[in-house]
Structure formats: C-alpha cells, structure tokens
Amino acid sequence: MCYADLKAKRLKYHISQSKLAVASGYTKAAISSWERNKVIPSPYDLEKLNAILTQLIDAINAGTLNIQKKSIRPSQFASHALPKNIKSPEEYKSLLSAYSPLSYNPYRAKLSELYKCAQCPKSSASPKAIALFSGCGGMSLGFASAGFNVIGHVEIDESACQIYHHNFPHSTLLAHDICSITDKDLFSWQQQYGPIDLIIGGPPCQGFSLAGKRDPEDVRNQLYKYYVHIVSVLRPKIFVMENVRLLTSMKTSDGELFIDCILRAFSSTGYSITRHEINASDYGVPQTRERLFLVGVRSDLNKKFIFPDSIPSDTQKLTFRDATFDLPFLESGESSLDPLHWSISHPTHVIQWLKNVPEGHSAHENIDPALRPPSGFNTTYKRIRWDEPCSTISTNFSMISGCRNVHPSSTRSLTIREATRAQSFPDEFIFTGKWGDIRRAIGNAVPPILAACIAKALYQQFFDIKSF
C-alpha cells in the first residue's frame, strides 16, 4: 500500500483533507505533507488512515453519511488522551501490550533480543558485577546481556532506583549514597557475594559537561575518589568507568587536568588503565554521543583490554529513521497507544517559527525576522535529520527550545519513546514514575547497545575459558 492509493480513495469519495484529519486524528498539515511527498508516512500511519477511510467510505455507501454536508466526529481511532504518570510495572506492561506496531523494525527486534538475553538467569559460574552510579540501568542492561551477573548496585536517585528495580529485580540496592559506604560495608559485600569480578559505572557528568557550568569546585567532580576506594578494597579483575569526553579537558582549581588525577588514582591501586574516547554512533547506537571510557585491569592478570572495533567507516551508521520509522506520526499535543510515544503541546508561536523549517536547520535561520526566536543559538529550535544519527539525548530532550531537539518533520520535540530508541533502550524496558524523572533517567543513561559491545569484548577476553 502507498499513500497515492489512499489519496485516490479520498478524492474518489470527495473526502476533504480537513474531514479526514478530524476523523483520523492526524493534523491537516500532516496529511498534506504526505500527499505532497514531503514526508513519507510510516506503515503504521498508512494502515491507520486506510482503516479510517474504509469506515468513512462504508458509511457513505450505506447512505448514513453525507460527506458534503455532515460534519465529522473523531472516530475511536482518532486520538488518545495524553497518558498520566506510570505508577507500576504492571501498568506499563498493560499499556504497552495495547500497542502493536504494524511494521517490522529490525533495530527494535535487536533491542528486544538484548533485553531477553539480559533477563536470562545467570549461573553460579557467571562473572559477578556491581554497578556504581547505576542510574536506571543502561550500562547494567548491556553487561547483563553479555553474560555478567549484576548482583548489586548503588544509586542515590530514588526514581532511577525504582526503574532499575523493575528491570533488575534480583540486583540488591547496596547503598543510596556512595559517600556513605564504609570499609565495613565493603567487607560484608565480600562475605555475602564472594569475589567481585567487575565494577562498572559512570560518576555524574554534569560537572564536566558543556551542558553544565564546568565548575572545578563542583562536588560531583570528586565522586570518582569513592569509586577508586571501592575498587581498591574489593579488588575486582576489571573496572569500567564512563563519562563525557570533555572530562579530558577539564582542569582542577590548581590547573591540573582531572583526567590525570583520575588515572593516577586508579594506577596507584594496582590497575593498568586504558582510555578510549568514542562516539556511540560508531557502535550501533543511532545517536551522536561522545564519551570517555576508562577500563582498568588488575595488574596481576598481566593482560591488556583490547577495545572492540567500531563500525567500518564504509558502513552506514544507524539513523534516527532506522530507530523510529515504525512509530505513529504525531504532531504537537498528539498521542498514540504506545505509553511513551506522545507529544508535549507547544505554544502556537513556536510552531509558527518551526513549521516550515527543513530538517537539519534552525528557526534562527528563517528569512523572515518575525519567525526567528528572539534569543539563542543556531543549535536551538533546530530539527534533526532523518537519515543521520540524532544528536545527543540529554535530560532536556523534550524541550523544543533545546539543542537539536526538534523532530525532522513534525513540529514538536522528541517523545520519550523516540529518546529511548535513540538511547537503544528496548521497548520492553520498564519505565515508571513522573515524566520528568523518566526523562532525566534516560538522558543520563549509558546506551545499552554501547555497553553491550564493551561487555562482550571484556567477557571474551577475560572470562571466556576459551580465551586462556
């Protein structure tokens, strides 16, 4: 089925774009853009419009609807109320089960397989891991999918802890505040769980990121010291620490590079450190996300970690289209049956600024000065591109005024579902809580696909018996 067929049906029965819009719940602008081949509708949208058109035509043929005179009421498919905060995993699963994508998405299928692998029971021989600064579980999901048994975690944010618990019910919350962990606590972990093979985690990055103030005195910049101490006591074979790439250029108040302080601290505990600056889009994530990884190997292992190869340069990176083409088309204020795929309602004047802005461009570039935002940079009020990885998913991805947060063709910011896909979270991953808390958890997370790439390489090099 193609849209030309639907357009022919619409015209044959003299159904206007406006009346089809009311009946279907799509905007007239969306229908117009499809008919002018400005935007390609997803298979889901084609099926939905075909169903609506069929109902209207059946009513016309039955004589119960005079399309020229009678106004149209929204059908049962037209729109869905914007969802309320999701309170429980059961509610999330119930809402998600009501939504069935009408087209196959190989990327979505890959994420589902990752989730299934992570949920598989681990044996007593599986290498044991602890997640520090676990967040909602992006890094844990990747490592669990590779065969690691994530037995415990540390996270101070209560809402992130709840999301983590729903997806990793067998992981123990060892502590909320890493600063409160004592040596007595660490020794008790050893007694309870035995030797810990791996420690993973990324201290908060806001103190190092351009999105923050990059204040050398930010107390969060010192949290790595607690990470170092835990490693020095538990003595895992490996540790993996993640942070923003800009950590490499941040200096202390004394003028020393933070990265040098961190490397020196870990090295002093008897670990050989390798550092890797990467872009997540080079590892199968449909998002440009530059990050720094430090991988420490205990010196007595006499082995160096070899970072996994990235996607070959002549291979097409995954794009925003690859990640989201199967999702229903939405404009500002619209929703779908997917509990995470709904749009914030944006002010009319902002929609006017962005309405005719092409993908990859900003409203600041509009020829008419009256259609330009009064302040900001050219990276704000800017559309991402369909056929490129999207920009970094930050905690403010729902702000249409943020940095490259505008959908390629719809005039709105990204939905939560689009952000989870761009971050490589499976649709099955359970998100509960207030919407703001969910967005923050997603924006702060390590992309699971990226974590899985690193985890598989670690497993093969250090924990697979065949590697020795």
List the structure tokens of 345: 């309602």
Q: What is the 3-state secondary structure (H, E, C) of 263-321?
A: HHHHHCCCEEEEEEEEEHHHHCCCECCEEEEEEEEEHHHCCCCCCCCCCCCCCCCCCHH
359 burial (CB, 10 Å; 0-12 / 13-18 / 19+) is: middle
**Among residues 161, 205, 390, 403, which one is catalytic?**
205
* Sequence-ordered list of residues with C-beta below 8 angstroms from that of 285, at least 6 positions apart, any chain: 318, 389, 422, 423, 424, 447, 449, 450
Phi, psi of 104 (to 5 degrees): -80, 130
**Is 456 among the domain residues?**
yes
CA distances to 37, 52, 70 from 13, in Å? 21, 13, 14
Element (H, E) at 234: helix 224-234
Model pLDDT, residue 468: 39
- Same domain as 209, residue 135: yes
- Same domain as 405, residue 297: no
- Same domain as 404, residue 278: no
In one-letter notation, the amino acid at residue 378 is N
**62-112: pLDDT as tens digits:** 777 777 765 555 443 444 556 778 999 999 999 999 888 878 999 999 999
CA distances to 39, 227, 260, 261 from 251, in Å? 46, 19, 9, 10
What is the three-class DSSP state of 233? helix
**Is 89 among the domain residues?**
no
What is the three-class DSSP state of 342? strand
- Residues 105 and 108: their CA atoms lie apart, in Å, by 5
pLDDT tens over the chain, length 468 residues: 677 888 888 888 888 888 887 777 677 777 888 888 877 777 767 777 887 888 788 778 877 777 776 555 544 344 455 677 899 999 999 999 988 887 899 999 999 999 999 999 999 999 999 999 999 999 999 999 999 999 999 999 999 999 999 999 999 999 999 999 999 999 999 999 999 999 999 988 554 444 545 455 555 568 899 999 999 999 999 999 999 888 888 787 788 888 899 999 999 999 999 999 999 999 999 999 999 999 999 999 999 999 999 988 778 899 999 999 999 888 898 888 899 999 998 998 999 999 999 999 999 999 999 999 998 888 999 999 999 999 999 999 999 999 999 999 999 999 999 999 999 999 999 999 999 999 999 999 999 999 999 999 999 999 976 543
**Is 251 among the domain residues?**
yes
CATH number at residue 171: 3.40.50.150
- Same domain as 118, residue 234: yes
**Is 86 among the domain residues?**
no
End-to-end CA distance of the chain: 55
**Is 331 among the domain residues?**
no
Model pLDDT, residue 69: 63
- Our count of domains for the chain comes to 3
Tell me which residue range forms the domain holding 57. Answer: 3-61
Where are any strands of DSSP class E within 26-103?
none
- Same domain as 235, residue 116: yes
- Same domain as 268, residue 152: yes
**Is 129 among the domain residues?**
yes
- Residue 223: half-sphere exposure toward Cβ, Cα within 13 Å: 25
List the structure tokens of 1: 């089925």
Length of the chain: 468
Secondary structure letter of residue 30 according to DSSP = H
- Residues 422 and 321: their CA atoms lie apart, in Å, by 10
Q: Judge if pTM exceeds 0.85.
A: no
CATH number at residue 43: 1.10.260.40
- Same domain as 179, residue 287: yes
- Same domain as 142, residue 17: no
- Same domain as 362, residue 225: no
**Cβ contact 219:228 at 8 Å:** no
- Same domain as 295, residue 150: yes
Model pLDDT, residue 82: 65
Maximum Cα interatomic distance, the chain, rounded to a whole number of Å: 84
**Is 56 among the domain residues?**
yes
- Same domain as 13, residue 125: no
- Same domain as 148, residue 286: yes
> Among this protein's residues, is 205 annotated catalytic?
yes
- Residue 293: half-sphere exposure toward Cβ, Cα within 13 Å: 23
**Is 242 among the domain residues?**
yes
